[in-house]
Amino acid sequence: MKKLLSFGTRSCAGCPASLAVRRILEAVGDNVIIVNGTSCLEVTTTQYPLSSWNVPYIHTAFECTGAVASGVESALKKMGKDTHVVAIAGDGGTFDIGLQSLSGMIDRGHNVLYICYDNECYANTGLQRSSATPYGAATTTSPPGKFSIGNKTFKKPIVQMLAAQKVPYVATASLAYPDDLERKVKKALTIKGPKFIHILAPCPISWRFDSSETIHVARLAVETGMWILCEIENGKIKINVTPSERKPVKDYLSLQGRFKHLKDEDIKKIQEKVDDDWKAYKKY
């Protein structure tokens, strides 16, 4: 079958964005219009005059993926077409500068599947921090040093925020669990209204690990509990993978150069946050 996102994009080796999108498109099929905010995915797949996309595709400005997807969906509805609308954006375009646009799309109830691939920084513009960057990570705008631990804030709780806005279906996904990702995409497309899937996208360049390790790092995120695989459907949460014994977060952090400056007490703080998050998710 023809690949809906061709091989030979300009992404780095081990890029999580193209890996994720290939799997997403396998689940969605070709009856789709993709709306993609400026991001690594866009710059590596659409360099004029070439395109890697074998489905209709619109590039949107960084801040308006949700708004453009809303317009596309409204036009399709008016035309009586049942084409899926899938919006894809990075964490910067979702958590930060496009949040108003995503929130408006949800508020108006557009029938759009919005997918955020989260490499936890503004990668294509030089690896700056975003509000998805985890505590302690080194980025070009949160450098660690004598007076700085690196990034000072914990990740914005986007899943909880969108669930609070009553998005009918919110899910997290992982490249290390591709069948789970595919199932969630297919399920989301059966639900009317706005849907949100949040994929952790381990980026070898900004997280500083070997490009052969993308899937390994993605799996460790789940096994250490740093990434909780779940679905929230009409307010009800289901945790999809509960590790029988969670590995220490150190196993995940120590593989990545962006955390190499952390001291034992910093790692302890991250471990405590993960333990608290699990308690909170179980009570949700």
Ligand X SMILES: Cc1ncc(C[n+]2csc(CCOP(=O)(O)OP(=O)(O)O)c2C)c(N)n1
Query: In the complex with ligand SF4, which residue's Cβ is closer, 17 or 28?
Result: 17
Measured from the Cβ of residue 145, the count of other Cβ atoms closer than 10 Å reads: 9
Determine the Cα–Cα distance for residues 169 and 156; give it in Å rounded to an integer. 19
Q: Closest Cα to residue 35, out of 96, 77, 95, 98?
A: 98
Determine the Cα–Cα distance for residues 88 and 197; give it in Å rounded to an integer. 10
125 DSSP assignment: T
Q: Is 231 in the site for ligand X (CB under 6 A)?
A: no
CB of 9 to Mg ion, least distance (A): 16
CB of 158 to Mg ion, least distance (A): 13
Pick one of 9, 36, 130, 133: the residue that binds ligand X (CB under 6 A): 130
Angle between helices 16-28 and 214-223 (to 10 degrees): 80
Q: Which burial class, exposed, middle or buried, applies to 267 when counting CB atoms under 10 A from its CB (0-12, 13-18, 19+)?
A: middle
Interaction pattern, residues 29-58, with ligand SF4; x per rule: CB under 6 A: -----------x---x--------------
Q: Is 119 in the site for ligand SF4 (CB under 6 A)?
A: yes
Determine the Cα–Cα distance for residues 281 and 260; give it in Å rounded to an integer. 28
Query: And the tokens for 273?
Result: 């946050």
Q: Which stretch binds ligand SF4 (CB under 6 A): 9-17, 20-28, 56-64, 68-76?
A: 9-17
Rg (C-alpha) for the chain, rounded Å, is: 18
Q: Which residues, 12 to 51, sit near ligand X by CB under 6 A?
A: 38-41
Interaction pattern, residues 56-95, with ligand SF4; x per rule: CB under 6 A: ----------------------------------------
Determine the Cα–Cα distance for residues 37 and 61; give it in Å rounded to an integer. 6
CB of 205 to ligand SF4, least distance (A): 4
Determine the Cα–Cα distance for residues 70 and 68; give it in Å rounded to an integer. 5
Q: Which stretch binds ligand SF4 (CB under 6 A): 12-20, 58-66, 258-266, 275-283?
A: 12-20
Residues that bind ligand X (CB under 6 A): 38-41, 62-63, 89-93, 97, 119, 121-125, 130
Residues that bind ligand SF4 (CB under 6 A): 11-12, 15, 17, 40, 44, 119, 123-124, 203-206
